[in-house]
Structure 1
């Protein structure tokens, strides 16, 4: 079976097909995105906009550029534009509850994507099963290292849903392998390659015998890949990432690092549109809709390069 068919089938399991009547009830969606400079968020945006266009639905998209206060203002503006539902990717943990609260106060359903808002969740939350996928990635690189070694973990933005869940998943893999020790960890702000480079260099300088690095995003993992090279460590360092970014997959395919979890980013966008339509029609949906990620290594990465969802 083709990979694309597998991805779409997995997405389809999370929500039943829409009727034409349901789609016709929704004319306009608001899409509040964390940061369109990041490939992951941009791919979700593409998934939302392309699918909505197929259904004849207008999408008004705003980009918070990772600033919570900006996003609150943007959502306030969206709520004046007669939207039928809000698809919301919080820009950070601090202000995450405000947009959902504002929308609900106006009777506008909220689909939270990627990051949930503790204390003020959306009407449904859509994401990859971050904990399960991070466990797979960390377990894989630990296996490559023979089940032994010292690990560095480079976190994403502290307190966000993916950071918390990816930490949980990787820690499970570490706990199951008593020969592995987490010797250092540090949080990033932007999940970026530049941060991955800076953090890995600093942590490797203090821990030159590290042989395992888990970067909680592919940008962080590719930065760590560079950090290993410039740090001049002699031992083999096994590196895991997360996301399956379109820019990172070709690097992985060439063996630049060792594993990632490829997310169904455009599938997540399509599911968000379906969910928004159902909520606007008065249907109830599960509190969480978690899609599987796919363990991706240099051996199978080329398939994902060719058929990235």
Structure 2
């Protein structure tokens, strides 16, 4: 199997679901006292205030995301709400969520008018919501831009999100290592929505990884819509068009429900399947090891919990534990780990439903 570099089990847990002192590769641990040899003066990092779990200045965080009509998006909302409840000093003002740009803009403007201390925004459309992000920043409300990025860096204080290119890259590496000794290997791809930049990035990463395996050829690709229905329809088309192939990469575990239905209906099992995002259902299927599904590449919704950690730190004027800088980073990209039968038990606790 390829050496898909990933952190140790301990640091990985810190990245994905630790507390404010241990979360998303940024709030990993509060700085401990580090006495110097000349009488105990603290280092600059120790002098900076860093976020920890102890109650501090009260912070009201406004949260606005798309409608939770998809397993991953629902997990985003639940992660944010659950994280906020863990802090005595955080009050969360959450909108209902909407996929309509005008509605979401109105919801964010309401939060701005309420004078929340910090905003966490996962825009339905980053480009369309850039102006309201700028409006919040100009009003003195720092914005944590979650995943789908605004068009202007001036519209947010910090961005945190997944690595779409890395997701495709690691899916391609995993498949490549499984098939590296097979002459004339064929793979197919069930992508997401082609009008989204994230879909194009996932495909580019996948294609770039396969360039390292000259024995493998991608023979077909279909774009679905991140829904069960579209996954089933487009997978059925792939199966009819390709009489035989060795591996399938599906961009999204929700549309993968439909894809698996089509595979079962067609009675096909000659290939291995790799999913995307990291649903609990898929992880349990991988653990059972009774079908074509052998792995999934994470796009962790725990990023929403980390966004709340960041918002709290910003509202309290604190920095990030485990880092020398006084300020939180401007950009944080999460790692897309590959979940297999060998490591699935480590990741099951963060699988989403």
TM-score (norm 2): 0.75
Deviates more, 1:81-90 or 1:43-52: 43-52
Equivalent-residue separation in structure 1 for 2:219 and 2:98 (angstroms): 32
Which protein shows a greater Rg?
2
2:68 matched residue in structure 1: 36
Report the count of equivalent residues: 306
* Alpha-carbon distance change, 270 to 129 in structure 1, aligned in 2, over 3 angstroms: same
1:139-158 aligned at under 5 Å gives the runs 139-146=173-180, 148-158=184-194
1:245-256 aligned at under 5 Å gives the runs 245-255=279-289, 256=291
Aligned-residue offset at 1:227: 2.1
Q: Is the 8 A contact 1:22 1:278 kept in 2?
A: no
1:291 matched residue in structure 2: 334
Aligned-residue offset at 1:261: 1.9
Equivalent-residue separation in structure 2 for 1:163 and 1:26 (angstroms): 39
Q: Is the 8 A contact 1:3 1:304 kept in 2?
A: no
Aligned-residue offset at 1:29: 1.0
Aligned-residue offset at 1:259: 1.0
Equivalent-residue separation in structure 2 for 1:65 and 1:155 (angstroms): 24
Equivalent-residue separation in structure 2 for 1:273 and 1:70 (angstroms): 23
* Alpha-carbon distance change, 29 to 158 in structure 1, aligned in 2, over 3 angstroms: farther
1:8 matched residue in structure 2: 14
* Alpha-carbon distance change, 21 to 143 in structure 1, aligned in 2, over 3 angstroms: closer
Aligned-residue offset at 1:289: 0.7
Deviates more, 1:82-91 or 1:39-48: 39-48
The answer to which structure has the higher helix fraction is 1
Give 1:78's match in structure 2, choosing from 83, 98, 111. Answer: 111
Is structure 2 residue 247 aligned with structure 1 residue 212?
yes
TM-score (norm 1): 0.84
Equivalent-residue separation in structure 2 for 1:161 and 1:110 (angstroms): 22
Equivalent-residue separation in structure 1 for 2:109 and 2:177 (angstroms): 48
Aligned-residue offset at 1:272: 0.8
CA offsets 1:163-216 (integer angstroms, 9 cap, x no match): 343223212212222222233333333x22322111111232223333322111
Which ranges of structure 2 fall in alignment gaps of 5 or more residues? 1-7, 17-22, 31-49, 320-326
Match of 2:276, SS state, is coil
1:244 matched residue in structure 2: 278
Equivalent-residue separation in structure 1 for 2:126 and 2:185 (angstroms): 33
Aligned-residue offset at 1:49: 2.0
Which ranges of structure 1 fall in alignment gaps of 5 or more residues? none
1:262-301 aligned at under 5 Å gives the runs 262-266=298-302, 268-281=303-316, 284-301=327-344
